[in-house]
Each structure stands twice: as structure tokens, then as C-alpha cells.
């Protein structure tokens, strides 16, 4: 059976999104710490283990509920699936540039800062490429919804296995990730059946997770994880593993903090960069902790919690802190029907 919270949300989906967003923050935190320090810590191995499935699972989950809205008229669809993410992209690109402008100006002058800001609307900026790409995926899926799904899926699989590398993030990541969001869209019903089966047979599910961890870890250590076909296989299997773990957590209701992170994954995704960067600078400059892996773990934790603190502070202000996490009425194509933040479905 599928466990739901009092708000009608599917608990295991929130757990899965929580796992994904923590892994994303972990990746950026760890690689940032290691780049600044010039060496690797033990967290590097955790990040590498998650690399084959970290983003595939996030995109697959993003496609799970698309069938519910795919046939809506274009105005409603574009409002929910394009304008929603475009608003947050523009807002948070501007915020990130405001923080980083002095550094950019020192390197390329203030004129260069303005040009690079404009380029961010062609070449996705930094950590925000995920929400830049989501609207593109949603539009492509709606435009092709009457094409037989095996045709589109095979095209997506071929693009993933081609390992496209043009240097343009939008093109490259589209090729790398489209098959996963489309898989979530096409096989949503099967995914929910799978997670229900996991909750009925937890012992078998745990055995499957152990076997998957050995296969994924072995291929990563052997250097085969990025090979064509193997990368696709590990992406799909890894997404299934995360969903399995999430379904088991939802059944036991352990680690509710992780579920809360999933419920607010877009908040963490948008705002983790500042507490992450600040904590990294403080820890590395003071040197109070010598173990680089531990530094990376602390920076990850501060990034997640710091983003949520920003969210908690923002929602209690009269103007919702200039709509940092909530889309205002003027940025909508249709009147808002609910008073809460629309989740990144």
C-alpha cells in the first residue's frame, strides 16, 4: 500500500526527493571543498558512488506526476511547468550574481559581469541548470505525447548512450537526462506498483538493495560506470534503488527530517549555495577541522539546514521575503488556487 501524509502527498516520493537533494548538495559541497583544498577526502568516494544515479533519479521522480497534467490546455500547462520554474531561475540567477559580482568584476570588469549575466539565460548558470532544463523537458514531452512512447524512449536512450559533449549545458544535459524523466512519465504506474511491492516484501527489497550496491560500487571502482549502456543501466537501477530505500523509509516513518527535505527540495536546491560557500570558506580558512571528508560532511549539512533556515525566515515576513520561494500573482498565467508553494513535481 502507498503511504501518504496528512496533506495527501505520497510519502515515499518525498523521501526519494529528500535523498536526491541531499546527494546534490553533498556533491557540490564535497567537490567545492576538494577544489579549494587541492586534495580529496573520504567523502569523494561517497559522491562517486552516487554519481551514476544521483541526477537520473531526480529527473525520473520529476516525471512521475506529469501524466496528471499533460493533457491540460497549454495556458495552464505552461503556467505550472514552464513559467513556474522560469520565475525561480531568473530570480535566483540574479541573486547568485549579486553575491558573486565583485569576484567576477575583479576577473573581467563590470562590463563583463553584465555580459555573463545575460549569457546565463543561454548557458545555464552554476547549480541552477536543473530548473533551467525541466521546462524544456516538459514542453518536449507534451509536444510528443501522441508519438508512440517506445519511439521517444529509444531516442532518449540513444542520446544518453551517445554521451553528447558539445560544451553547451542545455544540449548536453538534455541528451544525458531526457530518457530518465520520460521513463518516469511513461512508467509512473509501474513505479508505484513497484514501490508498493517493496513495502509488502521489505526483506527481499533489502536484499535487492545490497546486491545493487555491490554492482554499482564495483562498476564505479572499476571505472566502467560511464561506459555507454552501462551508464544507462546504472541510472535506471540506481533510481530504482533510491525509490526502494524511500519506500522502506516511508513504511517505517524513520528519518522524517529527510522527508521534510524532500517536501522542500526546490527550496534547498535554490538556496543552499550561500550557506554552503560560507561554511566552506570558514572551515578551510580556520583549519579547525583537519579531516577533509569531515569538512565536506559539515558543509553539506550546513548547506541543507541553512537553506531551510532561510526559507523559515522568509515565510514569516510580511512580503514573504520578496517572494524568494513563492511565485507572486504577477508571475502567473492563471490565478493562484492555493496558498502554498507549488512543489517541483
What are the pLDDT digits (tens) for 248-273? 999 987 789 999 999 999 999 999 99
Cα distance between the two ends of the chain: 21
Inside any domain, residue 147: yes
Judged by average pLDDT, the poorest of 24-28, 222-226, 274-278, 329-333 is: 329-333
Give me the pLDDT at residue 321, please: 56
Give the domain range for residue 39.
11-331
Give me the pLDDT at residue 345, please: 40
Give me the pLDDT at residue 309, please: 92
Query: Mean pLDDT in the chain?
Result: 91
Whether pLDDT at 343 is above 50: no
Inside any domain, residue 99: yes
% of the chain at pLDDT higher than 70: 92
Inside any domain, residue 340: no
- Pairwise CA distance, residues 307 & 221, whole Å: 33
At 1, the pLDDT band (50, 70, 90 cuts) reads very low
Give me the pLDDT at residue 303, please: 97
What mean pLDDT is predicted for residues 315-332?
A: 75
Among positive and negative, which fits the CA dihedral 315, 316, 319, 321? negative
Inside any domain, residue 339: no
Give me the pLDDT at residue 344, please: 36
Give me the pLDDT at residue 89, please: 96
What mean pLDDT is predicted for residues 198-227?
A: 97
DSSP string, 90-143: HHHHHHHHHHHHHHHHHHHHHHHHHHHHHHTTTS--GGGHHHHHHHHHHHHHHH
Whether pLDDT at 339 is above 50: no
More confident residue, 99 or 84: 84
* Residue listed under C-alpha cell 569523494: 44
C-beta of residue 266 within 8 angstroms of C-beta of residue 130? no
Domain count, the chain: 1
Whether pLDDT at 338 is above 60: no
DSSP string, 295-338: HHHHHHHHHHHHHHHHHHHHHTSTTHHHHSSS--GGG-SS----
Amino acid at each position: 500500500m502507498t503511504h501518504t501524509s496528512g496533506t495527501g502527498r505520497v510519502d515515499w516520493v518525498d523521501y526519494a526527493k529528500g535523498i536526491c537533494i541531499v546527494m546534490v548538495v553533498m556533491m557540490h559541497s564535497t567537490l567545492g571543498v576538494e577544489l579549494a583544498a587541492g586534495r580529496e577526502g573520504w567523502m569523494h568516494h561517497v559522491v562517486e558512488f552516487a554519481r551514476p544515479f544521483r541526477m537520473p533519479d531526480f529527473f525520473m521522480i520529476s516525471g512521475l506526476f506529469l501524466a496528471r497534467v499533460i493533457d491540460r490546455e497549454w495556458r495552464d500547462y505552461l503556467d505550472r511547468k514552464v513559467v513556474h520554474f522560469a520565475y525561480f531561475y531568473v530570480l535566483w540567477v540574479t541573486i547568485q550574481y549579486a553575491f558573486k559580482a565583485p569576484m567576477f568584476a575583479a576577473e573581467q570588469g563590470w562590463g563583463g559581469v553584465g555580459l555573463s549575466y545575460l549569457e546565463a539565460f543561454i548557458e545555464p548558470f552554476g547549480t541552477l541548470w536543473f530548473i533551467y532544463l525541466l521546462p524544456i523537458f516538459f514542453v518536449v514531452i507534451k509536444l510528443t505525447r501522441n508519438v508512440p512512447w517506445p519511439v521517444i524512449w529509444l531516442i532518449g536512450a540513444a542520446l544518453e548512450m551517445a554521451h553528447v559533449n558539445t560544451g553547451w549545458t542545455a544540449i548536453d544535459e538534455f541528451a544525458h537526462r531526457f530518457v530518465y524523466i520520460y521513463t518516469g512519465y511513461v512508467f509512473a504506474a509501474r513505479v508505484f506498483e513497484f514501490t508498493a511491492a517493496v513495502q509488502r516484501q521489505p526483506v527481499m527489497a533489502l536484499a535487492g538493495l545490497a546486491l545493487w550496491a555491490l554492482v554499482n560500487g564495483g562498476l564505479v571502482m572499476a571505472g566502467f560506470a560511464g561506459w555507454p549502456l552501462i551508464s544507462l543501466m546504472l541510472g535506471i537501477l540506481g533510481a530504482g534503488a533510491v525509490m526502494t530505500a524511500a519506500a522502506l523509509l516511508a513504511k517505517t516513518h524513520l528519518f522524517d527530517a529527510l522527508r521534510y527535505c524532500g517536501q522542500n527540495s526546490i527550496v534547498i536546491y535554490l538556496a543552499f549555495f550561500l550557506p554552503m560557500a560560507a561554511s566552506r570558506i570558514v572551515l578551510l580558512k580556520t583549519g579547525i577541522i583537519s579531516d577533509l571528508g569531515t569538512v565536506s560532511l559539515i558543509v553539506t549539512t550546513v548547506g541543507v539546514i541553512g537553506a531551510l533556515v532561510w526559507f523559515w525566515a522568509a515565510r514569516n515576513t510580511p512580503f514573504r521575503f520578496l517572494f524568494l520561494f513563492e511565485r507572486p500573482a504577477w508571475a502567473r498565467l492563471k490565478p493562484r488556487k492555493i496558498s502554498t508553494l507549488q512543489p517541483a513535481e
